[in-house]
């Protein structure tokens, strides 16, 4: 995701207030999901400044990628998701796919170095899933790709934000505006 | 198509403030100027009418300009239908009509005369949104800026201010981020306003850089001919993923190209500050840049224009996925003809053919199955003659070429 979060809100007249008030909400929903499904085995979800998230498995070998609730909200109605190419190896920041909403083709970037092993075909069929459950990595969720990760990918993770840092970051983006 | 046909055409009157900043003999004509941090504001105008070249120059500016810079790029294209990144050309356009072209704009021919036409280019752009028509009577304006300050309406508003300065009344940015013009219709006997679209908007967002471009109808002589180009004969049979266009009534604002680009450049400078040296002319010399050349090749490739199409199904009968009632088949086709297939990444999948009539087979059913099997895996845009394709897939001859001809018409291939 580019810095879509910012002015895309013009797409929805009420978004400036909406985006601000909705930020804490997805986060709390998120922590509910975490508490329910993940307990302590899984490391926390990390976020990029471009509004992607990544979960790494406990053994640091595999991961799941998606876009954040904040980004999904700001993007407006997603009408098409161009999925990453299976088998492709990418570096952090490389464009791996794109999301179209409100006449915009927005790149989805790899949050960390990784290799794409699986993509969420559901998004091609039901792109609105990404608006509804962008941070859900289960079957039927809005996750974008499953990946394998090497040492570089694990290293890249250090530069990313945890949920609290990301919350502060998006609040700052809103305030600036 | 001969995309380079227009590459040598230049503006009759260059931008008034133009000052060429590079020699065409340099191997990298404007890349170093573009990417330099000492040029935070840049304006370019194209001397080419080639849509593939202009879009590739634009993409080059998006990817190579300094991350903090703000750029304005102005260009116009030879007659083209430009579809959005995630659209379906078989659904959005009439490919045969594009090929048949528009009447040549020669002064001697009568208006609307059906003489040898000027082929309309089919272009898939990299940005989102719907299908639009371009010709030399409309101006493309494009602003590239840091993603951190991107705003969907800011630059459409800039163009509205330019239009106001040019004496165009009633222009505004609407909720779809298009520029529309409210025109009083009291002269036609009724009070009230009619609203026409005069410029669309589309965006490409990358990590650091964002692009907003639009195409403003200035003085196109082809307004009345646009609609048939944007209507597909296969519309009733195709269900596509991706993006469908929203039809809007359009009108010209009645402004000349040169004055439009001059005033838009003025408004740009008013917003961001003076651009030292003024506008830089770019054109076919940009082909000396490898990335631009590659961009042109990619945009012209059938893999991009057709193969990039999101998955879709074609079916002559209603299905679960697409339950719309279908129009009655033409009477010259076999009564119980049924044809359906899915196209993914340009390739035919899951084909089902039945009801074809054969010259000699006693067992039509297995013939149908053989054909269904044989067309799976074929690349749709490479089928230029459906009768030949069906014959090739069939063990025995078909009774007639009617089905093939009909499909040629729907998919805009063959001679029709």
Q: Give pLDDT, residue B363.
A: 67
| Angle formed by the axes of helices B257-272 and B154-165, nearest 10° | 130
Instruction: Give the nearest chain A residue to B173 (CA atoms).
Output: A10
Say whether A104 and B127 touch across the interface (CB within 8 A). Answer: yes
- At B195, phi and psi to the nearest 5? -115, 130
Instruction: Give the nearest chain A residue to B240 (CA atoms).
Output: A125
Distance from CA of B43 to the nearest CA of A (A): 23
pLDDT score of A128 more than 80: yes
> What mean pLDDT do residues A108-122 have?
94
Phi/psi zone of residue A76: left (φ > 0), alpha (ψ -120 to 50 degrees), beta? left
Distance from CA of B131 to the nearest CA of A (A): 11
Pair (B239, B333) in one structural domain: no
Distance from CA of B22 to the nearest CA of A (A): 32
CA dist B253 and B262 (Å) reads 16
- Spacing of C-alpha B372 from chain mean position: 32
CA dist B137 and A133 (Å) reads 45
Phi/psi zone of residue B21: left (φ > 0), alpha (ψ -120 to 50 degrees), beta? alpha
Q: Give pLDDT, residue B213.
A: 96
Please report the ipTM that was assigned to this predicted complex: 0.82
Domain closes at, from B305, B325, B345: B305
Torsion, CA B184, CA B186, CA B191, CA B195, rounded to 10 = -30
At A175, the pLDDT band (50, 70, 90 cuts) reads low
Best of B86, B126, B308, B309 to substitute, by most chain A Cβ atoms within 10 angstroms, is B86
**Strand B179-184 vs strand B193-199: parallel, antiparallel, or unpaired?**
antiparallel
Q: Which member of A2, A10, A11 has the closest CB to residue B205?
A: A2
CA dist B289 and B255 (Å) reads 33
Instruction: Give the nearest chain B residue to A49 (CA atoms).
Output: B207
| Angle formed by the axes of helices B51-64 and B290-300, nearest 10° | 130
Q: Which token pair is B82?
A: 């430009």
Q: Give pLDDT, residue A1.
A: 60
Pair (B323, B394) in one structural domain: yes
- At B327, phi and psi to the nearest 5? -65, 155
pTM for this structure?
0.84
In a domain, B90, yes or no: yes
Segment 304-333 of chain B within 8 Å of chain A by CB: 310-311
Pair (B323, B296) in one structural domain: no
CA dist A58 and A46 (Å) reads 14
In a domain, B416, yes or no: no
When divided into structural domains, chain B yields a total of 2
> Fold for domain A7-170?
OB fold (Dihydrolipoamide Acetyltransferase, E2P) (2.40.50)
Q: Does B151 touch chain A (CB under 8 A)?
A: yes
User: CB-based contacts of B342: which residues, under 8 Å, 6+ apart?
Assistant: B311, B312, B313, B314, B348, B349, B350
CA dist B280 and B118 (Å) reads 30
Pair (B248, B367) in one structural domain: no
User: CB-based contacts of B56: which residues, under 8 Å, 6+ apart?
Assistant: B286, B292, B293, B295, B296, B299
Q: Which helix (H) or strand (E) holds B341?
A: strand B338-344
Pair (B190, B120) in one structural domain: yes
In a domain, B95, yes or no: yes
In chain A, residues with a C-beta closer than 8 Å to the C-beta of B205 are 1-4, 104-107
Pair (B101, B144) in one structural domain: yes
Q: Give pLDDT, residue B277.
A: 85
| Window from A49-53, A74-78, B134-138, B394-398 with minimum mean pLDDT | B394-398
Domain closes at, from B262, B277, B305: B305
Q: For residue B323, what are the CA distances in angstroms to B62, B90, B294, B317, B319?
A: 42, 19, 42, 8, 5
Pair (B217, B92) in one structural domain: yes
Q: Which member of A50, A80, A101 has the closest CB to residue B310?
A: A80
Q: What is the DSSP string of A8-59?
A: GGGGSTTHHHHHHHHSHHHHHHHHHHHHHHTTTTSPPPEE-TTSEEEEE-TT
Q: Give pLDDT, residue B14.
A: 42
- Spacing of C-alpha B196 from chain mean position: 20
Q: Give pLDDT, residue B367.
A: 81
Say whether A104 and B153 touch across the interface (CB within 8 A). Answer: no
At A60, the pLDDT band (50, 70, 90 cuts) reads confident
Task: Name the burial class of residue A84, with classes exposed (0-12), middle (13-18) and buried (19+) by CB atoms within 10 angstroms of its CB.
Answer: buried
Residues of chain B with pLDDT under 70: 1-29, 104-116, 186-192, 361-365, 415-416
For CA atoms B36, B40, B43, B49, the dihedral sign is positive
Say whether A105 and B207 touch across the interface (CB within 8 A). Answer: no
Q: For residue A28, what are the CA distances in angstroms to A142, A163, B35?
A: 18, 10, 43
Say whether B152 and A10 touch across the interface (CB within 8 A). Answer: yes
Q: pLDDT by residue (tens digit) across A80-106?
A: 999 998 999 999 988 899 999 989 999
Chain A residues contacting B via beta carbons under 8 Å: 1-4, 6-8, 10-11, 13, 50, 79-80, 82, 93, 95, 98, 100-107, 109, 124-125
Say whether B152 and A100 touch across the interface (CB within 8 A). Answer: no
In chain A, residues with a C-beta closer than 8 Å to the C-beta of B241 are 80, 124-125
Task: Name the burial class of residue A41, with classes exposed (0-12), middle (13-18) and buried (19+) by CB atoms within 10 angstroms of its CB.
Answer: exposed
Pair (B321, B232) in one structural domain: no
In chain B, residues with a C-beta closer than 8 Å to the C-beta of A121 are none
In a domain, B369, yes or no: yes
Domain closes at, from B280, B305, B330: B305
Pair (B240, B107) in one structural domain: yes
CA dist B57 and A154 (Å) reads 37
In chain B, residues with a C-beta closer than 8 Å to the C-beta of A90 are none
- Alpha-helix runs per DSSP H in A38-157: 69-75, 122-125, 129-132, 151-157
The range of the structural domain enclosing residue B134 comes to 3-305
Neighbour tally for B296: CB within 10 Å: 24
Q: Does B246 touch chain A (CB under 8 A)?
A: no
Q: Give pLDDT, residue A26.
A: 44
Query: Could you tell me the CATH number of the domain that includes residue B143?
Result: 3.30.930.10
Q: Give pLDDT, residue A16.
A: 37
Pair (B266, B367) in one structural domain: no
Say whether A105 and B126 touch across the interface (CB within 8 A). Answer: yes
- Spacing of C-alpha B148 from chain mean position: 28
The residue extents of the domains of chain A are: 7-170
Torsion, CA B372, CA B374, CA B375, CA B377, rounded to 10 = 120
Q: Give pLDDT, residue B8.
A: 30
Neighbour tally for B1: CB within 10 Å: 14
Pair (B390, B352) in one structural domain: yes
Q: Give pLDDT, residue B361.
A: 66
Pair (B338, B354) in one structural domain: yes
pLDDT score of A149 more than 90: yes
Q: Give pLDDT, residue A28.
A: 43
- At B209, phi and psi to the nearest 5? -125, 145
Q: What angle do CA B306, B308, B309 make, to 5 degrees?
A: 70
């Amino acid at each position: 995701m580019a810095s879509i979060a910012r002015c895309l809100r013009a797409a929805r007249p009420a978004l400036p207030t909406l985006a601000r008030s909705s930020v804490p909400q997805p986060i709390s929903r998120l922590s509910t999901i975490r508490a329910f499904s993940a307990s302590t085995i899984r490391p926390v979800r990390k976020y990029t400044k471009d509004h992607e998230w990544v979960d790494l498995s406990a053994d640091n070998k595999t991961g799941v990628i998606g876009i954040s609730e904040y980004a999904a909200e700001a993007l407006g109605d997603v009408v098409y998701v161009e999925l990453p190419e299976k088998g492709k190896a990418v570096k952090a920041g490389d464009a791996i796919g794109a999301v179209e909403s409100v006449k915009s083709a927005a790149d989805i970037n790899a949050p960390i170095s990784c290799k794409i092993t699986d993509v969420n075909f559901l998004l091609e069929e039901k792109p609105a899933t990404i608006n509804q459950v962008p941070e859900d990595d289960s079957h039927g969720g809005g996750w974008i790709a499953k990946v394998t990760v090497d040492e570089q990918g694990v290293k890249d993770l250090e530069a990313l934000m945890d949920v609290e840092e990301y919350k502060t970051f998006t609040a700052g983006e809103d305030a600036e505006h | 198509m001969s995309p380079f046909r227009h590459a040598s055409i230049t503006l009759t009157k260059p931008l008034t403030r133009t000052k060429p900043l590079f020699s065409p003999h340099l191997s990298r004509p404007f890349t170093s100027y573009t990417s330099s941090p000492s040029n935070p504001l840049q304006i370019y105008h194209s001397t080419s009418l080639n849509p593939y070249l202009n879009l590739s120059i634009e993409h080059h500016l998006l990817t190579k300009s300094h991350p903090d810079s703000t750029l304005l790029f102005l260009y116009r294209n030879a007659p083209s239908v430009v579809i959005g990144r995630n659209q379906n050309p078989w659904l959005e356009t009439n490919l045969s009509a594009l090929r048949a072209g528009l009447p040549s704009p020669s002064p001697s021919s009568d208006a609307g005369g059906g003489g040898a036409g000027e082929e309309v280019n089919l272009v898939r752009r990299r940005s989102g949104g719907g299908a639009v028509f371009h010709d030399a009577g409309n101006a493309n304006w494009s602003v590239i800026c840091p993603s951190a300050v991107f705003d969907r309406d800011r630059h459409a508003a800039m163009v509205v201010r330019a239009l106001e300065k040019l004496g165009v009344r009633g222009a505004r940015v609407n909720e779809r981020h298009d520029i529309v013009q409210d025109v009083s219709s009291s002269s036609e006997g009724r009070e009230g306003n009619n609203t026409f679209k005069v410029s669309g908007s589309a965006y490409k967002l990358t990590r650091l850089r964002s692009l907003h471009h639009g195409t403003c109808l200035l003085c196109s002589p082809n307004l009345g001919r646009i609609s048939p180009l944007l209507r597909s004969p296969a519309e009733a049979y195709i269900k596509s993923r991706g993006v469908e266009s929203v039809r809007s009534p359009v009108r010209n604002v009645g402004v000349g190209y040169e004055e439009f680009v001059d005033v838009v450049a003025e408004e740009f400078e008013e917003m961001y500050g003076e651009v030292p040296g003024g506008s830089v002319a770019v054109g076919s010399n940009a082909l000396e840049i490898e990335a631009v050349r590659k961009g042109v090749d990619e945009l012209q490739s059938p893999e991009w224009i057709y193969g990039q199409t999101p998955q879709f199904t074609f079916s002559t009968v209603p299905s679960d996925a697409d339950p719309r009632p279908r129009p009655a088949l033409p009477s010259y086709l076999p009564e119980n003809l049924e044809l359906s297939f899915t196209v993914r990444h340009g390739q035919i999948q899951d084909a089902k053919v039945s009801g074809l009539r054969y010259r000699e087979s006693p067992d039509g059913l297995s013939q149908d199955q053989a054909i269904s099997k044989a067309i799976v895996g074929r690349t749709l845009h490479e089928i230029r003659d459906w009768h030949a394709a069906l014959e090739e897939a069939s063990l025995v001859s078909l009774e007639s070429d009617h089905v093939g001809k009909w499909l040629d018409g729907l998919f805009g291939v063959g001679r029709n």
